[in-house]
Structure 1
Amino acid sequence: MKKVVVVGAGNIGSTIAAMLAETGDYAVVLCDSNASRFDWIGKHSAITTRVVDITDAAALGDLFAGCFAVLSAAPFHLTTRIADAAAAAGIHYLDLTEDVASTRHVKQLADGAKSAFIPQCGLAPGYISILANDLAQRFDKLETVRLRVGALPQYPSNALNYNLTWSTDGVINEYIEPCEAVVEGHLTKVPAMEEREEFSLDGMTYEAFNTSGGLGTLCETYAGRVRTLNYKTIRYPGHAAIMKALLNDLNLRNRRDMLKDILEKSLPVTSQDVVIVFVTVSGYKAGRLVQETHAQKIYSGIIGGTLYSAIQITTAAGICTVLDMLASGKLPQSGFVRQEEVSFPEFLNNRFGRYYGSSSAAQAA
């Protein structure tokens, strides 16, 4: 059994621990600074829990000693501390962050490292990057790559048409920070919450708008190779207008703690959610301009007798698949590893990656 540490015992971290433990191939140490979070976690012989101050480098160093890898499911602002400790311990590092600055730091740590550093292993960035790269490879020349992802309640019942399904800190961060994109072939930054559009899928209308971090390293990889590359978050219509009023008119973009408190005390958590993945790539094949689209909906489900939300399943399955591929030698064992280096067919064939193929999906050329 390979010993791994999962940092953060929230909805996603606890799901990662449970998925890995069920295989019998991983001994999981699940740690958090808040001991009360362990009360919600079912007991498993392959999971041990530890209360650790994540800001304490020495404590993390002791925890990481002798481990194969650490998987960070902690808030984005703690990512770099965990990565630093992993580098000092010489172990593999994986995370879920959408934060661009944190990923740059991880990339610097990976330079010359003897272990692998693989950030952005969740849904978006993560799965969406692997999928988009696979579609893009089918073209002789690329024109546009458009990525759209959303984690939505199946039954919206408030003015925001939204329930908390993921990290509140993460949602706020991606609604505020600048977004990377490729415009007319050049890597640039565009403002979050802008360039709103509407589209229909299965008879339902959605809106999508710029959010930060969803592209991972795709912009660096495809700058100069594609005319347009962008990422937008999917929501039900009306969400963007209200959020922009909160962020801009009430200036809550500069009072993140207050905004977090409002959202967490006003919007209930739900496990009845749906993850929507919508990727469209256009370009030339044999001299003809063609388009390929991958549209997919993934719902909550029962794994090992426990009900997990769609965002828990997709995010946890993403990082577990990459860890599994790393452990089996299917990914580079050292340095910085981009999501687009992961083979999409091998990802889907993995025991964790198969969760992405178990819900409704449709592809059209």
Structure 2
Amino acid sequence: MKIGIIGAGKVGGTIATLLESCKFCKNVALADVRPGVDLQGLKKSKFARVDVNKPAELAAFVGGRDAVVSAAPYFLNKTIAAACAEAGVSYFDLTEDVETTTFVRGLAAKHKGTFMPQCGLAPGAINIVGGSLASSLENVRTCEMRVGALPLNASNQMKYYLSWSTAGLINEYCQPGDALYGGRRVTTMPLDGVERLTVDGVEYEAFNTSGGVATMGETFAGRVQELNYKTLRYPGHRDLMKFLLHDLNLAPRQELVTQIFDQEVPLTESDVVVFYVSVVGTDREGRLKQRSFIKKMHGAVIAGRKLNAIQLTTAAGITGVLELFAKKKLGPGFVKQESVSLEDFLGTQWGGKVYGG
């Protein structure tokens, strides 16, 4: 399979790294507007300089691929998805942006190919796990999904360092989310719904952010009483973000906040991903059950490249989905994350290595 990746940053490069060992992948074209992308150790990959905002360049890159992955900033995904639709090429992305997902869904209704947004960590793997656990019970009271990409150590006031897309981080802090309450879809406000939980003796705070529920609200409406997604952080982080974005009214100025974070908040390579899903409901015999999937995942050195935890878990999510696509286990049209079974996902090379065990 010939795969194109647009966005040769940390996650895009990590996806190419994982694809090196995948038998289903013949070659990778790694595109970015920036020159000088490091391809050391990536024998399957070739670099292509592409400006997404130049239609001819984008169309030329997309044509001839079996699948295109957008690892670009979320605000470029509509343009990339539209180019894939016009070329009849299947499209995958990592977006947490709800508006982008709605746009991609509209494209899928009118064009051939597979269109599967939200394929990373959260949304992505969290929905595969949450959907599978919820589907394993007859009647579900609660489905709680929690994910945090956190520094292993932090000494600053907000107890946080950057480890992934700053634009995506700020966007999910500013946009409303989706949830189920009483079996009905409701809108959640960002940074609200604060709670505390402990995993392996470490206390975290959890609060509402956008995108993590993906399409599960639609899928499980009327079948699950309460379903929600929250971001995990070390205690105290949420209050500072609330002050910055709400009290100082900077939420409408996401580009400015992103610029400040990129300039002043350090980027860490020492991180951990905390992954938590808990489902409570009754089985077919009417017995009340609690089922969970809880992991702490760290980075690794793969193909001579040091990958941090958020890079590895995000790339493993979409690489696993690409393997299922290559095996024709994904249908055409718009594909939801929760339509993928956990068994199939853990049966893939990288889904199993990173999320299994």
**TM-score normalized by structure 1?**
0.94
Q: Among 189, 193, 196, which residue is 2:194 paired with? A: 196
2:169 corresponds in structure 1 to: 171
* Aligned-residue offset at 1:57: 2.1
Q: Which stretch has the larger CA shift, 88-97 or 109-118?
A: 109-118
1:327 corresponds in structure 2 to: 326
Task: Tell me how far apart the structure 2 counterparts of residues 358 and 312 of structure 1 sit (CA, whole Å).
Answer: 17
CA deviation string 1:126-160 (max 9, x = no partner): 10000011111221111111100000011112111
Task: Tell me how far apart the structure 2 counterparts of residues 265 and 273 of structure 1 sit (CA, whole Å).
Answer: 20
CA deviation string 1:99-130 (max 9, x = no partner): 00100010111114321001110001110000
In structure 2, stretches of 5+ residues that fail to align are none
Matched residue SS, 1:251: coil
Q: Among 199, 218, 221, which residue is 2:219 paired with? A: 221
1:362 corresponds in structure 2 to: none
Give the aligned length.
355
2:241 corresponds in structure 1 to: 243
Determine if contact 2:22/2:349 at 8 Å carries over to the other structure: no
Matched residue SS, 1:253: coil
**TM-score normalized by structure 2?**
0.96
Determine if contact 2:142/2:279 at 8 Å carries over to the other structure: yes
Determine if contact 1:145/1:279 at 8 Å carries over to the other structure: yes
Task: Tell me how far apart the structure 2 counterparts of residues 91 and 256 of structure 1 sit (CA, whole Å).
Answer: 32
1:134 corresponds in structure 2 to: 132
Q: Among 150, 159, 163, which residue is 1:161 paired with? A: 159
* Aligned-residue offset at 1:69: 0.6
Runs of 4 or more, structure 1, over 3 Å off, are none
Task: Tell me how far apart the structure 1 counterparts of residues 254 and 294 of structure 2 sit (CA, whole Å).
Answer: 33
Distance 1:203 1:308, change over 3 A: same
The amino acid across from 1:346 in the alignment is D
2:19 corresponds in structure 1 to: 20
The amino acid across from 2:136 in the alignment is R
The amino acid across from 1:288 in the alignment is R
CA deviation string 1:212-233 (max 9, x = no partner): 0001111110011111111000
Q: Which stretch has the larger CA shift, 99-108 or 341-350?
A: 341-350
Task: Tell me how far apart the structure 1 counterparts of residues 44 and 227 of structure 2 sit (CA, whole Å).
Answer: 42
Task: Tell me how far apart the structure 1 counterparts of residues 41 and 300 of structure 2 sit (CA, whole Å).
Answer: 20
Determine if contact 1:20/1:26 at 8 Å carries over to the other structure: no
Query: CA-atom RMSD, angstroms?
Result: 1.3
Matched residue SS, 2:320: helix
Q: Which stretch has the larger CA shift, 152-161 or 55-64?
A: 55-64
1:88 to 2:86 alignment: yes
Task: Tell me how far apart the structure 1 counterparts of residues 2 and 193 of structure 2 sit (CA, whole Å).
Answer: 45
The amino acid across from 1:193 in the alignment is L
* Aligned-residue offset at 1:180: 0.6
1:363 corresponds in structure 2 to: none
Determine if contact 1:314/1:355 at 8 Å carries over to the other structure: no
Task: Tell me how far apart the structure 1 counterparts of residues 235 and 13 of structure 2 sit (CA, whole Å).
Answer: 32
Determine if contact 1:125/1:216 at 8 Å carries over to the other structure: yes
CA deviation string 1:237-278 (max 9, x = no partner): 000011111111222212222211221122211121110111
In structure 1, stretches of 5+ residues that fail to align are 360-365
1:303 corresponds in structure 2 to: 302
The amino acid across from 1:110 in the alignment is A
Q: Among 321, 327, 347, which residue is 1:349 paired with? A: 347
Task: Tell me how far apart the structure 1 counterparts of residues 119 and 335 of structure 2 sit (CA, whole Å).
Answer: 10
